[in-house]
Amino acid sequence: MAEWQDPKMFAVGLSIAILFVLVLIVSMILLTRVFIKRIIREQQRFTQAKIDYQQKLLWNSVLVQEKERDRIASDLHDELISKLTVLTYALQTNSDQVKPAELLGDSIKVARRITHDLRPPLLDQTSLKELVEDFVRPLSKAYRLDLFFSCDSNLSLTSDVKLQIFRIIQEVVNNTLKHAKCSSISIRLRASARVVALSFRDNGVGFNVDANAKGLGLRNIELRAQLLGAKCRFKSSLGLGTTFQFLYVG
């Protein structure tokens, strides 16, 4: 009788085969559990990172609101209230050195500017192109402006979306005026159907994007873009100016 036909040897071989299969199954189960645990840990890290990021954006939103309140309070106190105080004094004393009509006209201009900053008038009836043009055109007195607007007449944006995009452009331009020390500004605004694409460039001193990523201005822009579900990014190098790109798909 051949050795493989020996019942004992057959039983031993079968036992070894079964043991091998069991070890293989257990190993696969253990590896699967390790893999699943790793996936769960990565998901937990991702979820926690997302929560932390949302908390930072929420905190940034609060800071932005407080900063805006401080600015409005400063404008009211330093410009409007001071002019009205002088006007009141002039009316009470009949002073010839103050012209009440002129002061009142200046006060109305200040009040109009403050309300315009809070919410542009006739927002529903004003196109995004008109909002941006009205905002940047006065800069031509101090900067070389390179403006291009291509907006489809079928562009359909809600007032809230239009306002958020306009505020992003305002923030980018204001940051440039405060920090860039540039002489020229280029703005390319293209809009078709429900898509808005913006390209902004200046020839200023530039900045380190990574080092300034936590700045209130940049985080405010990022917050507004996230609220819109839009994409945006800054590209800048010291001494080589700054580029900002924005894309919104409604």
CA distances from 126 to 1, 122, 166, 200, 228 (A): 101, 6, 12, 22, 19
Strand-pairing partners, residue 182, are none
> Beta 184-192 vs 144-151: how paired, if at all?
parallel
pLDDT tens-digit profile of 156-206? 888 888 888 998 998 899 889 988 999 999 999 999 888 899 999 999 999
Q: What is the pairing mode between strands 195-202 and 184-192?
A: antiparallel
What are the phi and psi torsion angles at 245 (to 5°)?
-125, 140
CB 221 within 8 A of CB 203: no
Question: Which stretches in the chain have pLDDT values below 70?
Answer: 1-7, 10, 57-66, 95, 98, 116-118, 121, 212-216
Q: What is the pLDDT of residue 6?
A: 61
**d(C-alpha 175, C-alpha 244), whole Å:** 12
- Average pLDDT over the chain reads 82
Q: Which CATH number fits domain 122-249: 3.40.50.300, 3.60.21.10, 3.20.20.70, 3.30.565.10?
A: 3.30.565.10
Can you tell me the distance from the alpha carbon of 238 to that of 211, in angstroms, rounded to the nearest whole number?
A: 12
Report whether 75 contacts 114 (CB < 8 A).
Answer: yes
- State how far the Cα of 206 lies from the Cα of 222, in Å rounded to an integer: 19
24/19 Cα distance (integer angstroms): 8
Closest CA to 230 of 244, 213, 241, 211: 244
Question: Considering Cα of 176, then 178, then 184, then 188, what sign does the dihedral take?
Answer: positive
Distance in angstroms (rounded) separating the CA atoms of residues 57 and 59: 5
User: What pLDDT sits at residue 152?
Assistant: 83
What pLDDT, on a 0 to 100 scale, did the predictor assign at position 219?
Answer: 80
Query: Which phi and psi angles does 188 have, rounded to 5°?
Result: -120, 115
